[in-house]
Structure 1
Amino acid sequence: MNVLNITLPWPPKELSPNARLHWSKLARAKKAYRYACAVQAKAQGAQRITADKLHVSLMFYPPSRRAFDLDNALARMKSGLDGLADVLEVDDRHWKLSIDRAEEVGGMVKVEVRHV
């Protein structure tokens, strides 16, 4: 594998660090998003990778022109990245991350995975 490109769904607002949800609703939202990202990754060809370290680039395409903070977007993405880690079978503590925002609207997160 040279580069793996995956498109994941935009993380739901319930996963925002600013959301004030009951712990059980938050747990359900995290579980659902983790599962959705794992299914999407598998559907796009992701599978177990033999690697000690990975570089994962995230490009956030917001669902609207409304402003958003990259740090909050990354925090919302945590469960989704865990779902991707489940599929790749590489612990996310061995990942180097880079994040950016796109000028275009799209309601998705494009992920590029490459060996370090």
Structure 2
Amino acid sequence: MNEVLILPRPPKVLSPNARSHWATKSKAAKAYRAACFLLCLKAALPVPTGRALLSLEFVPPDRRRRDDDNCIAAFKSGRDGVAQALGIDDSRFVTQLQISEETIKGGAVRVRITDYIEKSA
């Protein structure tokens, strides 16, 4: 289970720093969730057993600095779409994230899903 799913960057309106009308944000969240759902379904990723490590790599469109907490918050509807496509509850995800040094025109989110192995104390 080491396939990489490339998802589009969340729309700017989904950022916690965006000051947009709730209806605009809701419409964008619904569309982004549906897009992530369809792309994940098309990729036919294997469904993890038990907890799942959700590794997210945010690839920005430019070299401006980004806050990782804003990236993960903006991706919430995308995460919901991925979980829905896998047929699991998103509470099973253990999230690991990073912001890439690389840039891609338009930005992207690279997603890897693997079985989560808990470390013993």
TM-score (norm 2): 0.88
Among 29, 44, 64, the alignment partner of 1:66 is 64
Question: How high is the sequence identity, in percent, across the aligned residues?
Answer: 39
Q: Which runs of 5+ in 1 are unaligned?
A: none
Question: Could you say what the CA RMSD is over the residues aligned between the two structures, in angstroms?
Answer: 1.3
The aligned counterpart of 2:119 is none
Q: After alignment, is 28-37 or 50-59 more displaced?
A: 50-59
1:52 Cα deviation from its structure 2 partner: 2.0
1:46 Cα deviation from its structure 2 partner: 2.9
After superposing on structure 2, the runs of 4+ consecutive aligned residues of structure 1 that deviate more than 6 Å are none
Q: 1:39-54 residue pairs with structure 2 within 5 A?
A: 39-46=38-45, 49=47, 51-54=49-52
CA distance in 1, matches of 2:48, 2:96: 21
The aligned counterpart of 2:32 is 33
Q: Secondary structure at the match of 1:8?
A: strand
Output the amino acid matched with 2:108: M
TM-score (norm 1): 0.92
The aligned counterpart of 2:12 is 13
The aligned counterpart of 1:112 is 112
Deviations 1:56-85 (A, max 9, x none): 100110011111111100000000000000
